[in-house]
Amino acid sequence: MELEVGQKIEVVIGRFTNIGIRVLVEEEYEGMLYKNEVFQRVREGQRLEAYVKKIREDGLIDVSLQPVGFLNKIGENEAVILNKLKSLDGGFIGYNDKSSPEDIKYHFKMSKKSFKSAIGGLYKAKQIEILENGIQLVSETK
């Protein structure tokens, strides 16, 4: 198998199972996309860009729709949050680290853990303020 962990690949969405979605990787290999890592609607037959997460001993390939690796995810997630804040008048979003995982998944297409890491990074970089009722873009970054 000539695939490597972290490699960008194309997948075709296949059969939905109780743990995730079977996918066809590069039109050649079988793979699995776990449902707790899918933050967007997908349909059978849909082609998507994905990443090799793990090559298993049984020959299946675990795939992710997000780049593999903590730093890649943080950067992308921070960008999603910043872009959303910049697109809103006043640079405020009524979501923070206390918001429900379901709300975060619905509005930001990421897990609560990823959201918290991303806003933590933005806060440390002094790009946002974390308020009791949401997050606010710091005026210098508008």
State how far the Cα of 108 lies from the Cα of 115, in Å rounded to an integer.
8
Q: What is the mean pLDDT of residues 81-90?
A: 87
Residues 59 and 74 in one domain: no
Domain of residue 53, residue span: 8-64
Single residue among 27, 47, 64 that ends a domain in this structure: 64
Q: What is the pLDDT of residue 65?
A: 87
Residues 41 and 92 in one domain: no
Q: What is the pLDDT of residue 93?
A: 93
Residues 116 and 132 in one domain: yes
Rg value, the chain, Cα: 17
Cβ atoms of 86 and 130 within 8 Å: the answer is: no
Instruction: Classify residue 132 as exposed, middle or buried by CB count within 10 Å of its CB (0-12, 13-18, 19+).
Output: exposed
pLDDT in tens, 5-31: 889 999 999 999 999 999 999 999 999
Q: What is the pLDDT of residue 141?
A: 40
Residues 80 and 120 in one domain: yes
Residue partners of 114: CB distance under 8 A and separation at least 6: 73, 74, 77
CATH number at residue 113: 1.10.10.10
Domain count, the chain: 2
4 CB neighbour count, 10 Å cutoff: 9
Q: What is the pLDDT of residue 34?
A: 92
Residues 74 and 123 in one domain: yes
Q: What does DSSP say about strands 29-34 and 128-131: parallel, antiparallel, or unpaired? A: unpaired
pLDDT in tens, 93-139: 999 999 999 999 888 888 898 899 899 989 988 889 999 999 999 87
